Amino acid sequence: MGEIPKIRKFGTKLTIYSIIVALIPVVILGVVSSHTITQTMNEQAQDKINTDLYAAEEFMGHNLDKLSSICEYTVNSPDLLENMKNKNIKNLKNILLLTKKSSDADFVTLFDNTGNVVLRSNNNNYGDKELSDHIKKVLNGSNVTATIILDENTVKKENLENKTIIYIFDKGDFVPLDMENKSIEYRGLALVSIKPIYDNNTGEIMGALMISKVLNKDTYIVDKIKATTKDTSTIFLGGLRISTNVQENHERAIGTFVSQNVYEQVIKKGEIYYGRAFVVDDWYLTAYKPIKDDNNNIIGMIYVGVPEKPFIALQDKIKHIILWVGLVAFLMALVVSVIINSTITRPIKKLKKGVEMMGKGDYNFRVNINSNDEFEELAHAFNKMADEIKSSQEKLKKQAEKLEISYNELKKLDKFKSEIISIVSHELRTPLTSIKGYVELVLDGTMGTINESQKRCLEIANENIDRLKRLIDNMLDLSKIERGELKMDISKVNLNDIVQNVVHSLKPLADGKNIKIINKVEPITANLDKDKITGVLTNLIENAIKFSPVNENVTIEAFKENNMVHITVKDNGPGIPKSELTKIFDIFYQVNSSAKRIKSGSGLGLAICKSIVESHGGKIWVESKFGKESTFHILLPLDK
Ligand code: ADP
């Protein structure tokens, strides 16, 4: 077996798998925790922005409440009513200034019940009519406490130009339609509280008091929001920044417009806008909410922004931590897997070496593992197996040696047997030939006349001499075959001639049983040993006659088949059982020992036939229907 590539080695696979196993939970944990943390942080950021928005609104609401309470207090003060009735301007002025101061307002204005201005806190112009919707509402008995837009006229009358004026110095990409031709915004976004003044005797409305705080360029509210939330906030008049705690070049970033998409969503549609925004020099998570006046018109918006940086930094930090945890887990998995790897692969390598050594035939090699685990047990089992194989091997070796000795002895005996057969056969043949000669001399009357019974006896003796002679010839042939001394004498012969000769020589035997021999052999010439093939055919045809019942036929056929000649000898005798079909070609084998006696044979004939046919490079076999017929087949090459 070749060397296993490194990547396919068990150790490498083990390392890879253990790292994968170690990393899977880390990766899952990393992904899940990073997702959860990001989500939680986003939720927190959203919460924070909502809280900021709420705080900003609350703070503006708080300022409105403050204006409202002071307004309420003043309109109910007997001092105001008294001085209004007496038209004591000087005192009223003092009341207005005091109210302005205590409410931290930008102006306070007093109206009579027709909407005429009685007095202003910021100047001495009065007597003009101010019949804005708000004043009309209040003179009809309503309270107005809201964020409203002060128009340019009101701003001027109240001497507030300096307070409200905003220079639109950078128009940027987007300018709201109504601001296109403007480079200065005079209008003011203001918190106002306007309340009716009732006559304490008649209960009729005597006039109205308006207290207002302008939000343009105001720092108080946005800074207060910052102090509470730590985040940025801006107040917009329409889409224009008029008050902010965002600093740009050390100045408050006012006088610019909001982006178009925010404007569309908040001012036009009246929805809250959430999203990321680049404010001055950094990214913020922002929210913009519409500011509505008392008639529910959208007049501006309030913005709050939480810097994104801390959240992103925290997310990055967590991602870094997860990455480091993953890296440490990876290294730990690597170290652990290397340790496991060596503890597992080392014994495996030792066992592999043991198996290899055993494969090479070295049964003395022993595996030494002291890991105190299954590997040690495996090594013991392996060593035990090696011991047993070794002792079996030794036993086998001894056995093989014994067998070899026995084999050699048998071989010697066999050789001896062959020699004995050869010698005895030779020694028997000479006197037998002589006996046969003398018997025939007596039989044919050369030695004098013999009577019939003497003749009969001598004929039987002669037949038995023939049988004995055939047996001796067969035994001689066999011993030659066994010793490899069978010599072949190949010549071109006519097969039909051979068959005719054999049939002729066996005719008396066939006639004796009234058996007809049918010769269907085609005239075929082949290169064969004539005598030996004659012997083979004699044996087969003689057997066919011998085993056939009287009055039967024996058919001999021969025809060409490819480059071979196919000869068949068929009889209608008792047939051969299926189990014996191959065995009958063994030496001394006869199907039934009692039949042997009856039909008188030695069991040598077919064995000799087989050797001769195979020596020609041919094949012999028999087909039989037991109890009915036998057909012996011979295939011989035409040209040996
Ligand atoms: P044998 O000298 O006994 O005939 P063979 O080797 O020629 O010896 O035959 C072996 C055995 O095969 C025979 O004893 C016989 O049982 C069987 N045998 C041979 N030829 C036939 C046949 N034509 N029909 C039936 N059995 C046969």
Residue 305 has pLDDT above 70, yes or no: yes
- Cα within 13 Å of Cα(280), Cβ side: 17
pLDDT tens sequence across 507-522:
999 999 999 999 999 8
pLDDT band for position 488 (50/70/90)? confident
- 502 located within any domain: yes
- 380 located within any domain: no
Binding site membership of 576 for ligand 1 (Cβ less than 6 Å): yes
- Domain end (from 276, 310, 344): 310
- 19 located within any domain: no
Tell me how far the alpha carbon of residue 385 lies from the centroid of ligand 1, in angstroms. 53
- Domain end (from 268, 290, 310): 310
Residue 171 has pLDDT above 70, yes or no: no
Tell me how far the alpha carbon of residue 543 lies from the centroid of ligand 1, in angstroms. 6
C-alpha to C-alpha distance for 63 and 74, rounded to whole angstroms: 17
- 217 located within any domain: yes
pLDDT tens sequence across 73-111:
999 999 999 999 999 999 999 999 999 999 999 999 999
Q: What is the pLDDT of residue 4?
A: 64
Task: Tell which one of 470, 582, 584 to mutate to probe ligand 1, the residue whose CB is within 8 A of the most ligand atoms.
Answer: 584
Element (H, E) at 412: helix 374-443
pLDDT tens sequence across 231-254:
899 999 999 999 999 888 888 889
Tell me how far the alpha carbon of residue 491 lies from the centroid of ligand 1, in angstroms. 29
The larger pLDDT score, comparing residue 38 to residue 106, is at 106
Residue 169 has pLDDT above 80, yes or no: no
CATH number, domain containing residue 132? 3.30.450.220
Residue 7 has pLDDT above 80, yes or no: no
Binding site membership of 587 for ligand 1 (Cβ less than 6 Å): no
- 399 located within any domain: no
Task: Tell which one of 468, 481, 515, 543 to mutate to probe ligand 1, the residue whose CB is within 8 A of the most ligand atoms.
Answer: 543
Q: What is the pLDDT of residue 595?
A: 45
C-alpha to C-alpha distance for 537 and 193, rounded to whole angstroms: 146
pLDDT tens sequence across 605-627:
899 999 999 999 999 999 999 99
Across the range 193-197, mean pLDDT stands at: 96
pLDDT tens sequence across 358-413:
889 888 889 998 888 888 899 999 999 999 998 998 999 999 999 999 999 998 98
When the pLDDT of each residue in the chain is averaged and rounded to a whole number, the result is: 89
Across the range 335-360, mean pLDDT stands at: 86
Binding site membership of 564 for ligand 1 (Cβ less than 6 Å): no
Residue 533 has pLDDT above 50, yes or no: yes
Tell me how far the alpha carbon of residue 431 lies from the centroid of ligand 1, in angstroms. 29
pLDDT band for position 593 (50/70/90)? very low
Q: What is the pLDDT of residue 75?
A: 95
Tell me how far the alpha carbon of residue 566 lies from the centroid of ligand 1, in angstroms. 21
Q: What is the pLDDT of residue 547?
A: 93
pLDDT tens sequence across 429-472:
888 999 999 999 999 988 888 999 999 999 999 988 988 888 88
C-alpha to C-alpha distance for 87 and 112, rounded to whole angstroms: 11
Give the burial string for 476-510 (b: 16+ CB within 10 Å, else e): bbbbbbbeeebeeeeeebebeebbeebbeebeeeb
Q: What is the pLDDT of residue 170?
A: 66
Helix and strand numbers, DSSP H then E, in the chain: 15, 21
The larger pLDDT score, comparing residue 602 to residue 127, is at 127
Q: What is the pLDDT of residue 164?
A: 94
- Please list, in sequence order, all residues whose beta carbon lies within 8 angstroms of the beta carbon of residue 256, skipping any fewer than 6 positions away: 168, 169, 170, 171, 172, 240, 241
Binding site membership of 573 for ligand 1 (Cβ less than 6 Å): yes
| Plot region of 576 (φ>0 → left; ψ -120 to 50 → alpha; else → beta) | beta
Across the range 308-323, mean pLDDT stands at: 84
Across the range 10-25, mean pLDDT stands at: 80
Q: What is the pLDDT of residue 529?
A: 93
Residue 597 has pLDDT above 60, yes or no: no
Tell me how far the alpha carbon of residue 599 lies from the centroid of ligand 1, in angstroms. 9
Residue 16 has pLDDT above 90, yes or no: no
Q: Which atom of ligand 1 is nearest to the CA of 592?
A: 16
- Domain end (from 250, 275, 310): 310
- 69 located within any domain: yes
- 60 located within any domain: yes
Domain count, the chain: 2
Residue 506 is part of which domain span? 489-637
Residue 594 has pLDDT above 50, yes or no: no
Residues 415-418: contacts with CB under 8 Å, at least 24 apart: 415/483, 418/479, 418/482, 418/483
The larger pLDDT score, comparing residue 19 to residue 117, is at 117
Q: Which atom of ligand 1 is nearest to the CA of 632?
A: 23
Residue 133 has pLDDT above 80, yes or no: yes
Q: Whose CA is nearest to atom 8 of ligand 1?
A: 603
The answer to whether the beta carbons of residues 536 and 486 sit under 8 Å apart is: no
CATH number, domain containing residue 631? 3.30.565.10
- 234 located within any domain: yes
pLDDT tens sequence across 542-584:
999 999 999 999 999 999 999 999 999 999 999 999 999 999 9
Dihedral pair phi/psi, residue 504, rounded to 5°: -60, -45
The larger pLDDT score, comparing residue 608 to residue 2, is at 608
In percent, the amount of the chain with pLDDT more than 90 equals 55
What distance lies between CA 62 and its chain's CA centroid? 66
Binding site membership of 601 for ligand 1 (Cβ less than 6 Å): yes
Q: What is the pLDDT of residue 88?
A: 93
Tell me how far the alpha carbon of residue 123 lies from the centroid of ligand 1, in angstroms. 157
Across the range 136-156, mean pLDDT stands at: 93
